[in-house]
A and B are shown apart, each in its own frame.
Chain A
Amino acid sequence: MAYLSPSPRRTGEDPNACWGRIGVWGSGSCEDLETFVHCFNCPIYRHSGKVLLERSHPEAYLESVKDNLKIEAQDRSFKQETFLVFKLGQCLLGILSDSVRAVLPIEKIHRVPFRTNHLLLGLVPVRGNLRLAYSLQSLLFKEKKQSEDHKDSWRRMLLVGSPNLSLVFPVEDVLGLVSVDGKDVKPYASSAADARWMRGMTSNEDDTLLLLNEEVLIPTLQGLRV
């Protein structure tokens, strides 16, 4: 039996960043991992995060906030929304940031016997829960390749959906957030990806950004019987 390190939660000692020593980012030998599976679920980790909020404000930060608040809110007849931009093949895609629960490093996707195919890649452990992983390439570009053909290009995973029903999409890279004004969104008119899953397109610097319609995408995949 492997040696288990005593948890600071039980011994009462100072955690001293235990998540990096004996937790999931360290040796993984903490005895509490059997209970909490991941440090994210441990009260010691949560409490340590809150301690950071007991620090005093940097003065320059407060001044910058104060200056920003002085600017009058602009009257916008069009709704402004924030999209997470990611790269998939030759396309730049955007998904509404409200629907993205996390951006994660790529993990091994476990095949589901008799179910894994070009669309359903398999199961991925995310913070102690198993989530279904789907191929956006297959859905948007109708590619029939298996996950092995793409896995070298995937560098990130997006966790998308509601807290109870989140799905995982491996992507090539995540480029950041962009704010898009409703008036800049044009109807989708491209053959690059299946129009069913798109809410429109807009320009992002010199590239075209294709905006995913997660209101159609997520419920469809959740209801899919594969």
Chain B
Amino acid sequence: MIYKEQKGGRGMMLLKLEIGGVVHGLEIDPIVEIIPSINTDPLESCLKGVVGSVVYRGKCVPVLDVELLKQGNHTKAVLSTRIIVVDLDGKRVAIRAEGVTDILNGEENIFNVRQVSVSDYWTDAYLSAV
């Protein structure tokens, strides 16, 4: 479970992930759940990076591999690679990323981290296509 703001207010919180070995901070607002990187079921898609789908709480959710989208390589099959289930305006989609191990908050130096949002990957064109 991710707490956006604890009592006393600690400012912005980002989910740490790595793309091509570079640390990125993903906005946490749309995140529903972070799950282990389970095997995806095949999904017919011509969208670059979309590797398949997972059944999440009884519903089929498409999974976008950000490593594949940005670097052209599949994510490593290790414990720190996780699937991040997000809610974008009522639509459930997921992102698979490496190095999902930390929450970065305002107490740490987050200014050296590249801040990204889910819509950078799941663009409107992608959302309408799945």
Contact = CB atoms under 8 A, between A and B. Distances in A.
Contacts, number: 51
Given A57-B36, A57-B37, A62-B39, A69 B80 contact: no
- Give the secondary structure class of A's interface: loop
Interface string A51-74: 011111100011001100111110
Nearest to A165: B8
Given A62-B39, A162-B6, A72 B57 contact: yes
B78 A69 contact: no
Nearest to A62: B38
- Give the secondary structure class of B's interface: loop
Q: How large is the interface on A (under 10, 10 to 19, 20 to 34, 35 or more residues)?
A: 10 to 19
Given A52-B79, A53-B78, A70 B36 contact: no
Given A62-B39, A73-B57, 7 more contacts: A53-B78, A66-B38, A69-B54, A71-B57, A73-B58, A162-B7, A164-B8
Given A65-B35, A66-B39, A73-B57, A57 B77 contact: yes
Given A62-B36, A65-B35, A162-B7, A53 B79 contact: yes
15 contacts: A50-B80, A53-B79, A53-B80, A53-B101, A54-B79, A56-B78, A57-B78, A69-B35, A69-B38, A69-B56, A69-B57, A70-B58, A71-B58, A72-B57, A162-B8
